Structure 1
Amino acid sequence: MVQLLTPEGDLVRHEEFEFTGSADDLVGYLRDMILARRFDAEATALQRHGELGLWTPLLGQEAAQVGSGRSLREGDVVFPSYREHAVAMVLGVPLTNLLGLFRGTNGGDWERLETFKNYQIVIGCQALHATGYAMGLQLDGAVGNEDDAANSAVIVYHGDGAASQGDVNEAYVFAASYNAPVVFFCQNNQWAISEPIALQSRIPLFERARGFGFPGIQVDGNDVLAVKAVTDWALNRARSGEGPAFIEAFTYRMGAHTTSDDPTKYRESSDEEAWRGRDPILRLTRYLRRIDAIDDAWLAAVEDEAKELGAQVRAAIPELEDVTMDRLFETVYAEPTVALEAQRREYAEYAAGEDA
């Protein structure tokens, strides 16, 4: 497992990977993680108050998302699952996109779709979408150019449970067959809802990649330095035309799978305690304090910023406008189709009869 920063906040050397950023970069990553955690906490609270229909907490996975998100550059495209809130924040995706989806006021017509695609609720099918898009980048000549600035890649996020899905494994096959510039970023948070990883795979997930014909690597998913270094490597090789790679970010879902889940029914509190000691925010805070890159005043300022973010999130809820079925039908395709129009008429007749 690639690790560059221990839970105690000590730097460690790895033979193949190193963090090439600055202390200022790490201060920015810490800010990202703190704000992402606050956004997640606010959204969870909003769901508990009935303002959202559901929420998918990211608590504990901030480093995996911020580290990988900070490896992306202009031209790269993200295909998320449904928990990549911190990646969205890093890329400047309006948080109202996420809130609207889980409130039921947004049918998927998000802003910034050219960079960050819609959340995918159907488990794993985003891997096929991502692989197809990556193959398109090849056909467009956006891979393997001497001018690296002209190259792009795709990163697709999925969980350990999705790695057992047929769609995801089919995506691995196609990615390998066509040498597609796609990085499969698996956040192994140890639980596929209530099923432990030990029940899903007899070997570490990253070792499966070799069977499909591309490299796999396991990284400490709570170490933002290591995640950034490994994702840089994977994206750079994809952009240069070397093909797909698989990253297993070994982390832990500290909260529930969704707000409709009760993890106390299937896992031990002792496991949560053990992982709490590996907290990604705590370990980076320890390191940055040790090198005098941050102090109490900086932490207080970021806490004030987090409180302001929380207030903005709460204030955004009443501003979300309900979406009509007519609007949903309008935004399925750029141009209407005969089949879609037939479905729209069928729904209109059903709704009229129901009203009667």
Structure 2
Amino acid sequence: MMVPKPASSWARLITTGLLRRPSHPFHASRSTIAPVRFPSSPSCGPFASVLRERQFCSSSSSGDESEDHLDEFLDFPGAKVGFINKIKFTAERPQEPVPCFRVLDDHGRLIKDAYMPEVDKPLAIRMYQNMVTLQVMDTLFFEAQRQGRFSFYLTTFGEEAINIASAAALNNDDMVYAQYREPGVLMWRGFTLKEFANQCFSNVADYGKGRQMPVHYGSAKLNYPTVSSPIGTQLPHAVGAAYAFKMDQKPLCTTTFFGEGASSEGDFHGAMNFAAVLEVPVLFICRNNGFAISTPASEQFKSDGVVAKGHAYGMRSIRVDGNDTLAMYATVKAARKMAVEESRPILIEALTYRVGHHSTSDDSGKYRKGDEMQHWKTMRDPVLRFRRWLEGEGWWDTDAEQKLRSDARNEVISALQSAGSQMKQPLTNLFTDVYDTIPRNLIQQEKELRSTVGRHHEDYPSDVPLY
């Protein structure tokens, strides 16, 4: 860039288009846009000459003219910025944290003047029934794992509202890229208790053919790609699917769920930037439950939670009470509408608490206080909170509650008994479905395995077919 001569006027830069005066709407909102902060007298860089010219004009002008120049801004390749004449760094985090949207208080009462989503009696009861069924399933499946009936399990205790309310607010044709704590989304879409049990037992009816850990569900029919264990890998996949929806001009969005610990993964940042730049219809729903396994959020990041990261990537964002079923439903419903109609990504941070252990491989009592867990289990339980609202509306009572829990328990027990009695996936499935033609090394490995089983057949499980 050529350095302007001292005699050139600031107006020449405006005339040539390098510098522009903002229109009134931009000027009026300039205070809401965080400018890039530069020292008043930079000595190097591609725009140093322009800023030196600004300094020259200011020093050779009257005070009034210098004041007028505060309205000028430069169209940098990466941002439109105004100018200041003092060094001023942005704060590490805002003075006030981003507020949290909610509709119900902790006792299930509607908050005065709160935004109330359109939820009729049938929808509200269905959501509650799913929340209770999910809670009962988690309880009995957890016990089954402790009995040694299958190898691993994760519960959603304390996060039932995020599961069910989000699913209810989405279109069933929307793709959902979940982590391992969103079985309620599948349940809402019609995945049966027996299908859940089949996957955990890895039996012959398991859609994943026994190749995945328990609770790593998937259903092509229900637009729910199979869960993967590595943290955060589903995030860029969701963005790519949303980009496909955009290119095909389909009125759909993708939704991806993740915990706050996943925001420390590179996949999170790549996915956020990809989604924002390409303006694709994807919802990022973060379950900020306070702990990434045993690591508290305070050791994960210094920002104002996860919602603050949306602003950094130029993404519309909101923080919501994840234990408030109505607030979750309203938020996801509104976010989906914006994502689809405006083709934009939305970040939702749902504040919640993981009441249960991270998994059956974890003892959360080692890193959390018992009274803290008990408080969230009894005082902030999303299921009880929603039930109280239903009762206040006259839509639910004790008799309905007892019948629901009894029926759910019987159905879960029946599903466990049925799935547990079926044969496992055959040994052959260890070597198929990867290559069109099985390579020699895998043929040799299968041969060696079968030889080993033949020599030690007494140690080989009887419910796993050889072919």
The match for 1:145 is none
Q: Which amino acid in 2 is paired with 1:212? A: Y
Query: 1:103 Cα shift?
Result: 3.3
1:279-304 deviation line (CA, Å, top 9, x unaligned): 11111111221221111221122122
Residue in 2 aligned with 1:222? 323
Contact 1:97 1:111 in 2 (8 A): no
Q: Report the 3-state secondary structure (helix = DSSP H, G, I; strand = E; otherwise coil) of the residue aligned with 2:125.
A: helix
Aligned partners of 1:70 and 1:90 also within 8 Å:
yes
**Structure 1 residues 343 and 206, CA, compared in 2 at 3 Å: closer, same or farther?**
farther
2: distance between equivalents of 1:199 and 1:320?
45
Q: Pairwise CA RMSD of aligned residues? A: 2.1
| Structure 1 residue 325, shift from structure 2 partner | 4.6
Which of 80-89 and 112-121 deviates more?
112-121
> 1:327: which partner in 2?
429
Offset of 1:195 from its aligned partner?
0.5
- Counterpart of 2:103, as a letter, is L
Give the corresponding residue for 1:9.
108
Asked if structure 2 preserves the Cα contact closer than 8 Å seen for 1:39 and 1:313, the reply is no
Contact 2:136 2:405 in 1 (8 A): no
Q: Kindly tell me: are residues 5 and 166 of structure 1, through their superposed partners in 2, closer, same or farther at Cα, counting changes over 3 Å?
A: same
Which of these residues, 335, 355, 375, is aligned with residue 254 of structure 1?
A: 355
1:313 corresponds to 2:411: no
CA contact (8 A) 1:58 1:84 kept: yes
Question: For 2:169, what is the secondary structure of its paired residue?
Answer: coil
TM-score normalised over the length of structure 1? 0.89
Structure 1's 341 and 320: CA in aligned 2 closer, same or farther, altered over 3 A?
Answer: farther
Alignment partners' CA distance in 1, 2:430 and 2:157: 32
SS of alignment partner, residue 52 of structure 1: coil
Aligned to 1:212: 313
Q: 2:160 aligns with which of 34, 46, 62?
A: 62
What is the deviation of 1:170?
1.2
Contact 1:4 1:14 (8 Å CA) reproduced? no
Alignment of structure 1 residues 22-37 onto 2, 5 Å: 22-37=120-135
Q: CA deviation at 1:97?
A: 4.2
Which amino acid counterpart does residue 166 of structure 2 have in structure 1? S
Paired residue for 2:399?
297
Letter in 1 for 2:389: Y
Aligned partner of 1:231: which letter? V
Answer whether contact 1:3 1:14 (CA < 8 A) is retained: no
Letter in 1 for 2:369: E
Q: Note if 1:161 corresponds to 2:269.
A: no
Greater relative CO, 1 or 2 (CA 8 Å, sep 6+): 1
Provide the C-alpha distance between the structure 2 equivalents of 1:69 and 1:84, rounded to a whole number of angstroms.
9
Which AA in structure 2 matches 1:120? S
TM-score when normalising by structure 2: 0.69
Question: Structure 2, unaligned stretches of length 5 or more?
Answer: 1-99, 210-217, 456-467
How many residues align structurally? Answer: 343
Inter-partner Cα distance in structure 2 for 1:257 and 1:300 = 29
Task: Say if 2:386 is the partner of 1:278.
Answer: no
1:8 to 1:212, Cα distance in 2 relative to 1, 3 A: same
Contact 1:35 1:309 in 2 (8 A): no
Distance 1:346 1:119 in 2: 30
Summarize deviations over 1:238-284 as a string: whole Å, max 9, x none: 21243111111111111100011000100111211221201111111
| Secondary structure at the counterpart of residue 187 of structure 1 | strand
Whole-Å separation in 1 of the counterparts to 2:113 and 2:431: 52
Query: Relative to 1, partners in 2 of residues 1:209 and 1:342: Cα closer, same or farther, differing over 3 Å?
Result: farther
- CA contact 2:235–2:256 (8 Å) conserved in 1: yes
Deviation at 1:140, TM superposition (A): 1.7
Q: Where does residue 79 of structure 2 map in the other structure?
A: none
Bigger fraction of residues in helix: 1
- State whether structure 2 residue 266 is matched by structure 1 residue 140: no
C-alpha distance 13-154 of structure 1, shift in aligned 2 (>3 A) = farther
> Per-residue deviation at 1:123?
1.0
Structure 1 position 209, deviation (Å): 0.9
> What secondary structure is seen at the aligned counterpart in 2 of 1:322?
coil
**8 Å CA contact retained: 1:180, 1:244:** yes
Specify the alignment match of 2:460 in structure 1. none
Question: Alpha carbons of 1:292 and 1:255: their partners in 2 closer, same or farther (altered >3 Å)?
Answer: same
Q: Is the 8 A contact 2:201 2:420 kept in 1?
A: no
Deviation at 1:39, TM superposition (A): 0.7
Q: How far apart in 2 are the matches of 1:343 and 1:185? A: 43
Q: Offset at 1:328?
A: 4.7
Percent sequence identity over aligned pairs:
27
Deviation track 1:204-228 (CA, whole Å, cap 9, x = no partner) reads 1111111111112111101000000
Q: Is the 8 A contact 1:52 1:99 kept in 2?
A: no
2:299 maps to which residue? 199
Deviation at 1:13, TM superposition (A): 4.8
Question: Residue 192 of structure 2 aligns with which residue?
Answer: 94
Separation in 1, partners of 2:440, 2:348: 43
Q: Deviations over 1:160-213 (max 9, x none)?
A: 111211112211121112112111111111111000111112221111111111
What residue number does 2:236 align with? 128
Q: Which structure's CA Rg is the greater one?
A: 2
